[in-house]
Amino acid sequence: MTAERSTADILDAAVHVREAARSATTGATGVDTVLAALAEVMDYDHASLARWDPRRRRHTTLAGSYPDDATAYIETRLHHDPVFPVLRSPARGGLWLGDVPRHLLAASPGFQKVLRPLGIEDGVAQCLFAPDGRYVGMLNVSTRRPRRTPDPARAVV
């Protein structure tokens, strides 16, 4: 998505993300279609959609474009990162990188050793919950350039 899009265009694209997610849950399409639809909502350099495996106590990437070492961090260590408890509240929307308290970023191996070396300047992490409140996974989206303000995609994601 290189051209600037209107808020209405972004909202339409968000509806397509929801449709892609519903289609993926029924098996009609692959999970990668969700990330493809998300690219119409916001530009990103890397994204992943991961499910939480409560038995194995780890995430499993269903679709993603992060390098292998970043994917391994998301799957096996992100849930131990000091930023994760801030993310993992059903009442919270997505946590944008610029909104993470500085002291947490400084203490976060995920930011210091994974995202910063990739040149990540902005992005969002969104924990996902089942209707009954169970944590089921997360969406991570990262970009190497800061997002513009105001940004209609922030409200949509």
The answer to whether residue 33 sits within a structural domain is no
Overall average pLDDT of the 138-145 stretch: 94
Rounded distance between C-alpha atoms, residue 53 and residue 113, angstroms:
24
CATH code assigned at 81: 3.30.450.80
Q: Is residue 59 assigned to a domain?
A: yes
Nearest Cα neighbor of 31 from 61, 62, 66, 53 is: 62
Whether residue 53 lies inside any domain: the answer is: yes
Alpha helices in the chain (DSSP H): 7-26, 32-38, 68-76, 84-87, 102-107, 109, 152-156
Residue 7 domain-assigned (yes or no): no
Quick check: is 52 in a domain?
Answer: yes
How many domains is the chain partitioned into structurally?
1
Residue span of the structural domain in which 101 resides: 43-156
Read off the pLDDT of each residue in 129-142 and give the average, rounded to a whole number: 93
In a domain, 8, yes or no: no
- pLDDT digits 0-9 by tens, 10-52: 777 777 778 878 877 778 888 888 888 888 888 899 999 999 9
156 — pLDDT class (breaks 50, 70, 90):
low
47-88: per-residue pLDDT in tens?
999 999 999 999 999 999 999 999 999 999 999 999 999 888
